[in-house]
Structure 1
Amino acid sequence: MRLLSEGRTRPGSALPYAVTATAVAAAALAGAAAVDPDSTWYRRLDKPAFQPPSWAFGAVWTPLYASLAWAGGRALSRAAEGSRSALAFSLGANLVLNASWNWLFFGRRSPRAGLVGTLLIDAGTIQLIRRTAAVDRVAARALLPYAGWCGFATVLNAAIVRRNRG
């Protein structure tokens, strides 16, 4: 995100959108590399009745990632030079946390580590929305479905932890 932290972008510039889309896609790919919903370990976990089917995650995450990239690009293109670095850092940190969850839950085969990860994502998302709202309320509102899904993921992850103690 350094490209966006120095100087102002031209109004209407595609650069902030290209950078955020690339960062979001990289995070999605990095996280997806750890996911194996067909593994014996995952299939044997006791999951709650509200667990969506595996296909639903891709169907939900695709538009959420698109809205995250759009909102990030819009906010970064509107941010004053002094706040752009902090906003870019919040977005980057959120993407790292997002990708890391897959490695904590699936990679380590640890629902408990995944739960810690989801709580960190929730905190990071709240910070990202606050920083985005200070720059552009439309972009911040576009992040609300992402925040809602992350909150749902936390509840789901906590239920899996509770059901698989021992």
Structure 2
Amino acid sequence: MSNSGLASKGQLRASFLRWALFTVPACVLLGFVSGQFGGADSIWFQSLIKPDIFPEPMWFGIVWTALFIIIGIAVALVCAAWGARGRTAALIVFALHFMLTLAWTPVFFGAYQMTAGLYVLAAVVITLLVVMALFYRVRKLAAVLLVPYLAWVCFAAVLNYEFLKLNPDADGQDPTQAVQRFEI
């Protein structure tokens, strides 16, 4: 520490790296665990009519992994901002927001609830905007890093809506009673 009581750039960098070594793997791991509660390979999902904007399924794992890494970095920036006004509130709101993000896969794929999934995504978008505003007050870069995440969850909400619009009868349908659909 310098005589002014402020941390040196080296100390700040070391604090950020320590936090990132925790937050990045934690975000990726929690995202992976959430993904285990259902996926695109289920009978229910395979029977759904896919919207034209539905990307190749491989992209979801790639994009989410990249986003979870970026999210972990943004959180590490805020965590390393010891003494910053609003840091604790930003982290608490982020934790609540992230639980919503992680809930979407079990709701949509696990419980086969497209309408509830859309509500979850609406809450994800709204709370992410709040998180971004709070992060901006602590570390501007942390908020900016979340912009691709915001774009992706907005796209996910549109995609969820399109699935619901094309498959209204499949919303909440028990997959053991699913009817295979064939397009002619």
**Range class of TM-score, shorter chain:** 0.7 to 0.9
Give the TM-score normalised by the residue count of structure 1.
0.87
Larger radius of gyration: 2
The partner residue of 1:111 within 107, 111, 114 is 114
Gaps of 5+ in 2: 1-6, 170-184
Runs of 4+ with >4 A deviation: none
1:77 partnered with 2:80: yes
More helix by share: 1
Task: Count the aligned residue pairs.
Answer: 158
Deviates more, 1:26-35 or 1:92-101: 26-35
Kindly indicate whether the alpha-carbon contact (under 8 Å) linking 1:119 and 1:154 is maintained by their aligned counterparts in 2: yes
Task: Output the amino acid matched with 1:61.
Answer: W
Gaps of 5+ in 1: 1-7
Kindly indicate whether the alpha-carbon contact (under 8 Å) linking 1:64 and 1:146 is maintained by their aligned counterparts in 2: yes
Counterpart Cα distance in 2 of 1:84 and 1:137: 12
Q: Aligned Cα RMSD in Å?
A: 1.7
Kindly indicate whether the alpha-carbon contact (under 8 Å) linking 1:76 and 1:87 is maintained by their aligned counterparts in 2: no
Cα offset for 1:79?
A: 5.2
Kindly indicate whether the alpha-carbon contact (under 8 Å) linking 1:94 and 1:124 is maintained by their aligned counterparts in 2: yes
The partner residue of 1:131 within 131, 134, 137 is 134
Shift of the 82–137 alpha-carbon distance from structure 1 to 2, 3 Å rule, reads: closer
**Superposed counterparts of 1:1-166, under 5 Å:** 11-12=12-13, 13=15, 14-78=17-81, 80=83, 82-166=85-169
The structure showing larger relative contact order (alpha-carbon pairs under 8 Å, at least 6 residues apart) is 1
Look up the SS of the partner of 1:87 in the other structure: helix
